Amino acid sequence: MKTLYMAGLALLGLATTAAAESAISVADARAFETAPTAMAGGGFLAITNTGTSDDTLVAVLADFPRVELHTTEFENDVARMIHLDAIPIPAGETVALEPGGMHVMFMGLQGNPLTEGETINATLVFEQAGDVPVTFEIVKRDMAGHGHSHNH
Ligand SMILES: [Cu+2]
């Protein structure tokens, strides 16, 4: 009986570990300021899965009419944004959402531009890790990106 009891405990231990295996950390969350007439703005961040099981980013919630996950494709140097249903975050890896690539799209800005110095409170929704809060800092447009600045 004692052996069975120990085996039961071990199983219980495994189950508990499995539930806590996905661990998500985020860094460098930022969004670019937008022109007053802009309809949408991009959000960028690095997502690290420090756990031992794969996870998937399935949604981003924020106070905008619509928030989507996008990636960018270049065709003859013309950028085109593609809607993504989800972004896989493999165990032990960091996935970077960067200008010119994948990004969070805050949509429906109509007259409420993203303003430098302000922040966007959002919630990342993961299949395994659940809700992960994140704050995007709104910064000036990254000159190294594919955007073209008109600040001169
Ligand atoms: Cu986009």
Summary mean pLDDT of the chain: 86
Q: What is the DSSP letter of 20?
A: T
Say if residues 97 and 28 touch (Cβ distance below 8 Å).
Answer: no
- Residue range 13-57, pLDDT digits in tens: 555 444 555 699 999 999 999 999 999 999 999 999 999 999 999
What residues does each domain of the chain span?
22-139
Q: What is the pLDDT of residue 34?
A: 96
Ligand 1 center–CA 152 separation, angstroms: 25
Ligand 1 center–CA 85 separation, angstroms: 13
Residue 115: pLDDT band by 50, 70, 90 thresholds?
very high
Ligand 1 center–CA 25 separation, angstroms: 23
Backbone φ and ψ for 6, nearest 5 degrees, come out as -65, -40
Q: What is the pLDDT of residue 110?
A: 87
Ligand 1 center–CA 137 separation, angstroms: 18
| Integer Cα distance of 21 and 25 in angstroms | 13
Q: Which residues contact 48 (CB under 8 A, 6 or more apart)?
A: 24, 25, 26, 27, 89, 93, 94, 95
Ligand 1 center–CA 104 separation, angstroms: 7
CATH topology for 22-139 is: Immunoglobulin-like (2.60.40)
Ligand 1 center–CA 92 separation, angstroms: 27
| Integer Cα distance of 42 and 37 in angstroms | 15
Ligand 1 center–CA 4 separation, angstroms: 55
Ligand 1 center–CA 145 separation, angstroms: 14
SS3 (DSSP) at 147: coil
**E strand or H helix at 19:** helix 2-19
